[in-house]
Structure 1
Amino acid sequence: MAPYNLSRGISSKLIPVRDLQIHYLEAGDSESPLILLLHGFPELSFSWRKIMVPLSSLGYHVVAPDQRGYGQTRSQNQTASSSPVTFNDDLTPFRMLNLVHDVVALVFALGHTSAALLVGHDFGSMVAAHTALIRPDLFAKLVLMSAPFPGTPSLPFNVSKGPRNAGVGGSYAPSADDLLASFDPPRKHYTTYFASPNANHDMLNANEGLHSFLRTYFHVKNADWRHNDPHPLTDASQLSRLPHYYVMPIDATMPEAVTHMASPHPTTDSESAWLPDDELVIYATEFGRTGFQGGLNWYRCMKDQRFMAELSLFGGKKIGIPAMFLSGQQDWGPFQVPGAFDKTREACPQMKDENVVFVAGAGHWVQQERPEDVVAHLTRFLQSVA
């Protein structure tokens, strides 16, 4: 396994956690209060490289793991040369409750009984939100980045008095597949594509090569791509306004969708200066070695009613700790599901107005595009009175 290209002050380690050998990056004194950083898709612990040392200089133990299915984290009985995760593997380890269990177990494995801050980006935001919801005793504060948390699935309410009434709690958007297929031209949702059997093969074997595909994918979701002009959507009929990396042509693969969007696609570092080629190669090398299926299985579980139904155990429960939402101004992520951002405020009643932040000059990869701004906002939040 190729080492990550790490800055001074960041070390790379392995630790046994449950059924995993978790690989994580670390900065700061391990006896200091913990800050835990959870990446999204298609990312790695490496995605936090620009903010770890600045946060540790404030007096924190900063840890960013490769989460289950990603990077150099692997099963306890798996060697570095073992076969990667496949579509036919057991899906249950990738369900949300098990991902939360990984996070809680990692805190204890690191020698902590609590954490000063839990931060999640992209799909990591969903994991962080559920972790804080289920174990608020372990985390003092929560930051959700780039992806909203609409609350847990609802439970039927007051059914003794007639037909099923509205549920208690939040909900996840129902499948929009039929609606999107009726659009002209017909579309499909990216989560449906990510849950399909061919997504991993398509992305690993993109016509332009894996490195170029990742360059384009990162490019079209960042502030450098001038067509990103996000805004709230009022209802599902407006989903066609989303870029193709969220709402795709129905017959397209993800490489085809993003290459068409960005054509001519970026080829030089100057077009995405925040991700120079010597850093992009880390992503290409790791995903080329492991494939994307581990991360794609998270999306498959999100689409599987078996695993969503068990989360209704927490229907109506709110996140009971101070929270921040932080995203880039050019990021469609907060608005990809109509109404989800508003539900995030409802699910996080301790999220103050000043802690809803949209960083200028940043897109979806905000902690990589504008790390100084992100550190400044996290510092303010850490130092604020609960």
Structure 2
Amino acid sequence: MEGIEHRTVEVNGIKMHIAEKGKEGPVVLFLHGFPELWYSWRHQIAALGSLGYRAVAPDLRGYGDTDAPGSVNSYTGFHIVGDLVALIDLLGVEQVFLVAHDWGAIIGWYFCMFRPERIKAYVCLSVPLLHRNPKIKTVDAMRAAYGDDYYICRFQEPGKMEAQMAEVGTAYVLKNILTTRKTGPPILPKGEYGTGFNPDTPDTLPSWLTEADLAYFVSKFEKTGFTGGLNYYRNLNLNWELMAPWRGAKVYVPVKFITGELDMVYTSLNMKEYIHGGGFKEDVPNLEEVIVQKGVAHFNNQEAAEEISNHIYEFIKKF
């Protein structure tokens, strides 16, 4: 982690921890997903920070060393994008290159809709722009498609999933989720021991995730718990209501989309059809490229770190 510096800044009424490398050059802003931290981008921060860019990765609201407001409703897309606009202002730049994964990717799409003038280009990992169905709320639609045991449905009730996670321990939860290679929508059968994400948690870690890496994640989540991250899921229906004015809005920011062929999102219902069948391109007219990584699962920024760093660089250097 040589050359990566850390500081705490005040944005939008909260204290936010950021990791950064590179003092000069265009800013590349990295947004992590669940259950992750700035640390998920350690390889890309090092790579881009060494290529003449200023790489910045925050712990998002509710995570790591950033404040976690107590109210569930303090985690809407508007709150998170508000934090990021304030961060960009604080960095003293007008525009950034945005790179985001998982929940960070969802926030990235909101950002592209709300403040497109602040983003030069967007490298999106794992989660494409999710179409807002005006007839049914997001979680209700997921329940209808996948049933009550779908992980997002299981995450909705405050305190319940936290208690189940506490039962099996932070280290188990993180190892279980980060190492999963199970495709398709994550279903967590009720009453089953563990979180259910990955019934085949390996005894040994994959080559891309060291014991030290896992220990870092565990040390932070043992302090904070998982509530901050779970609260993002608990705002999906509220986000659906708040996003009504953007119904049918297109994203015109230049985009490169990268996913693993084993990614749980990519292999869920109708996702491949949407990504490759023209729907995604219709919603994002400046979608320049879609990359599907062979043999790679959901956490592609860590599993295929060098390849992802190269993809980011090849895309953003054009602008």
Q: What's the TM-score once normalised by structure 1's chain length?
A: 0.76
Distance 1:284 1:149 in 2: 30
For the Cα contact (< 8 Å) 2:102–2:127, is it kept in 1? yes
* Aligned AA (1:312): A
Cα distance in 1, alignment partners of residues 315 and 222 from structure 2: 37
**Uncovered stretches (5+) of structure 2, i.e. residues with no partner:** none
Identity %: 28
**Residue 177 in structure 1 maps to residue 170 in structure 2:** no
Is residue 2:262 matched to residue 1:330?
Answer: yes
Q: Secondary structure at the match of 1:175?
A: helix
Letter in 2 for 1:96: G
The reply to whether residue 121 of structure 1 matches residue 101 of structure 2 is yes
- The answer as to 2:103 corresponding to 1:109 is no
Matched, 1:74 2:67: yes
User: Amino acid of the residue matched to residue 82 of structure 2?
Assistant: H
Partner of 2:26: 33
Q: Distance in 1 between matches of 2:80 and 2:133?
A: 17
For 1:136 and 1:20, how far apart are their aligned partners in 2?
23
Residue 39 of structure 2 is aligned to residue 99 of structure 1: no
Residue identity opposite 2:115 in structure 1: R
Contact 1:153 1:312 in 2 (8 A): no
Equivalent of 1:285 in 206, 211, 219:
219
Q: CA deviation at 1:122?
A: 0.4
Closer/same/farther in 2, CA of residues 59 and 152 from structure 1, 3 Å limit: farther
Match in the other structure for 1:137: 117
Separation of aligned partners in 2, 1:133 and 1:346: 15
Instruction: Render the CA deviation track for 1:87-141: whole Å, top value 9, x for unaligned.
Output: xx422210111111111111111221211x1011001100011101111111110
Question: How far apart are the structure 2 equivalents of 1:179 and 1:33?
Answer: 42
Q: Once structures 1 and 2 are overlaid, which stretch shifts more, 355-364 or 277-286?
A: 355-364
AA at the equivalent of 1:317: A
AA partner of residue 304 (structure 2): R
- Structure 1 residue 61: Cα displacement: 0.7
| Structure 2: distance between partners of 1:190 and 1:48 | 24
Q: Distance in 1 between matches of 2:269 and 2:81?
A: 23
Residues 150 and 347 in structure 1, CA contact (< 8 A), matched pair in contact too: no
- Matched residues in 2 for 1:351 and 1:383: separation? 16
Find the counterpart in structure 2 of residue 345 from structure 1: 281
Shift of 1:153: 5.1
Structure 1: unaligned runs, 5 residues or longer: 1-6, 76-84, 155-165, 182-186, 222-227, 231-241
**Aligned CA-pair RMSD:** 2.2
Q: Which residue of 2 is the match for residue 239 of structure 1?
A: none
Deviation at 1:180, TM superposition (A): 4.2
125, 150, 165: which one pairs with 1:189? 150
Displacement of 1:257: 1.3
Match of 1:247 in 2: 187
> Which residue among 32, 38, 49 is the counterpart of 1:56?
49
Which amino acid is the alignment partner of residue 189 of structure 2? P
Deviation at 1:178, TM superposition (A): 5.0
Shift in CA distance, 23/258, structure 1 to aligned 2, threshold 3 Å: same
Instruction: Name the residue aligned to 1:234.
Output: none
Following TM superposition, the consecutive aligned residue runs of length 4 or more in structure 1 with deviations greater than 4 angstroms are: 171-174, 178-181
Q: Do residues 203 (structure 1) and 165 (structure 2) align? A: yes
Q: Does 1:15 align with 2:9?
A: yes
- The residue identity in structure 2 corresponding to 1:58 is L
Asked whether the equivalents of residues 142 and 321 of structure 1 are also in contact (C-alpha less than 8 Å), the reply is yes
Confirm or deny: 8 A CA contact 2:142 2:153 kept in the other structure.
no
The change in CA–CA distance for 1:134 and 1:298 in structure 2 (over 3 A counts) is same
| In 2, Cα distance between equivalents of 1:27 and 1:323 | 24
**What amino acid maps onto 1:135 in structure 2?**
R
2:259 match: secondary structure: strand
Return the alpha-carbon distance in structure 1 between the equivalents of residues 129 and 112 of structure 2.
11
SS in 1 for 2:33: coil
Deviates more, 1:11-20 or 1:306-315: 306-315
Count of aligned pairs: 314
| Alpha-carbon distance in 1 for matches of 2:144, 2:254 | 38
Structure exhibiting the larger radius of gyration computed from Cα positions: 1
| Residues 27, 56 of structure 1: 8 Å contact kept | yes
**Partner SS, residue 15 of structure 1:** strand
Please point out which of 317, 328, 348 is paired with 2:249: 317
Q: 1:251 to 1:178 in 2, by over 3 A?
A: farther
Contact 1:361 1:370 in 2 (8 A): no
